[in-house]
């Protein structure tokens, strides 16, 4: 193996990695936010609204991210939605992740015992307060492991953004290997960066989990 090309390509690889992290972080945050809104609507909206949303969920979950991205980036201009690669990629990630996050939140909410919601209703608490003070905090706790897990899956979906020319890590790695023919080294670099990212996320996730469930675990 020959690592001498790292001298030349190091900076662009780092820049690519930074882009990957930004795409992943923003895509995750926006996707979670949209997913949360969807889950709340699913819980409180009238039947016909939840039915429409269910169709959205099925369509997004039933199609590959690659296809969604193509439709958005190359089909978007046909309906006047002209986006640069990066914003298109972020929007794509947000949309792609939202139904999965919505389902995760939904099952998190379902894990909150009815009795604890009823106890709040019984003292006359308004629904908005019930959501903010009881449903969300408790639902998030049970949703957290699945949220972290899906965020990790999303890290790997970011590489698909290279197809619409977002200069993220895979894009840079491919450029480097095309110019140097060092495919093995290039892919090792790619693997190493992702391994580091995933490892970090899962560690942070575990620590977060341990902290917020501290009080919820029954003493034995």
Partner 1 sequence: MLAASSVEMRKVNKFYGKFQALKDVDLSILPGKVTCLIGPSGSGKSTLLRCINFLEEYDSGEVRIDGQLIGYEAPNKKMSGRKLREMRRSIGMVFQQFNLWPHMTAKENVAEGLIRVRRMSKADAERRAVEALAKVGLADKMANHPSRLSGGQQQRVAIARAIAMEPRLMLFDEPTSALDPELVGEVLSVMRTLAGEGMTMVVVTHEMGFAAHVADQVGFMEKGELVGVDSPDRILHHPQDARIQSFLRTYHERNSF
* 87 contacts 76 by C-beta, under 8 angstroms: no
Is 84 an interacting residue with respect to partner 1 (CB under 8 A)? no
HEC string of 112-143 equals: CCHHHHHHHHHCCCCHHHHHHHHHHHHHHHHH
Closest to 206 in 3D by CA, of 118, 142, 128, 145 = 145
The region of 41-49, 75-83, 89-97, 135-143 touching partner 1 under the rule CB under 8 A is: 135-143
> What is the helix (H) or strand (E) element at residue 5, kind and residue range?
helix 5-44
* Interacting residue with partner 1 among 69, 72, 131, 138 (CB under 8 A): 138
- For the chain, percent helix, then strand, then coil, each to nearest 5? 85, 0, 15
The region of 24-32, 109-117, 143-151, 160-168 touching partner 1 under the rule CB under 8 A is: 109-117
Range 161-190, binding partner 1 (CB under 8 A): none
* Interacting residue with partner 1 among 1, 67, 79, 216 (CB under 8 A): 216
Is 210 an interacting residue with respect to partner 1 (CB under 8 A)? no
* Interacting residue with partner 1 among 82, 110, 121, 203 (CB under 8 A): 121
Burial class (CB in 10 A: 0-12, 13-18, 19+), 85: middle
| Nearest distance from C-beta of residue 69 to partner 1, angstroms | 39
The region of 54-62, 129-137, 164-172, 173-181 touching partner 1 under the rule CB under 8 A is: 129-137
Is 44 an interacting residue with respect to partner 1 (CB under 8 A)? no
Is 55 an interacting residue with respect to partner 1 (CB under 8 A)? no
Structure tokens at 139: 């639902």
Cβ-based neighbour number of residue 171 at 10 Å: 21
* Interacting residue with partner 1 among 1, 78, 79, 123 (CB under 8 A): 123
Q: Which residue matches tokens 């909410």?
A: 109
Q: Which residues bind partner 1 (CB under 8 A)?
A: 113, 115-116, 118-127, 129, 133-134, 137-138, 141, 215-219
């Amino acid at each position: 193996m020959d690592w001498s090309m790292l001298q030349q390509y190091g900076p662009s690889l780092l820049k690519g990695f930074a882009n990957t992290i930004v795409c992943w972080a923003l895509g995750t945050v926006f996707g979670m936010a949209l997913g949360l809104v969807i889950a709340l609507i699913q819980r409180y909206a009238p039947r016909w609204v939840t039915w429409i949303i269910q169709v959205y969920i099925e369509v997004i979950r039933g199609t590959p991210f690659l296809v969604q991205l193509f439709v958005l980036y190359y089909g978007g201009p046909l309906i006047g939605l002209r986006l640069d690669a990066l914003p298109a990629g972020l929007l794509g990630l947000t949309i792609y992740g939202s139904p999965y996050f919505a389902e995760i939140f939904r099952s998190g909410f379902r894990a909150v015992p009815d009795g604890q919601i009823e106890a709040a209703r019984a003292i006359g608490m308004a629904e908005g307060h019930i959501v903010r003070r009881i449903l969300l905090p408790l639902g998030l706790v049970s949703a957290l492991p699945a949220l972290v897990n899906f965020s990790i899956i999303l890290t790997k979906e970011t590489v698909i953004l290279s197809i619409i020319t977002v200069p993220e890590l895979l894009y840079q790695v491919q450029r480097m290997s095309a110019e140097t023919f060092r495919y093995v080294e290039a892919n090792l670099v790619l693997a190493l960066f992702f391994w580091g990212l995933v490892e970090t996320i899962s560690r942070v996730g575990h620590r977060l989990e341990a902290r917020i469930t501290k009080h919820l675990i029954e003493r034995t």
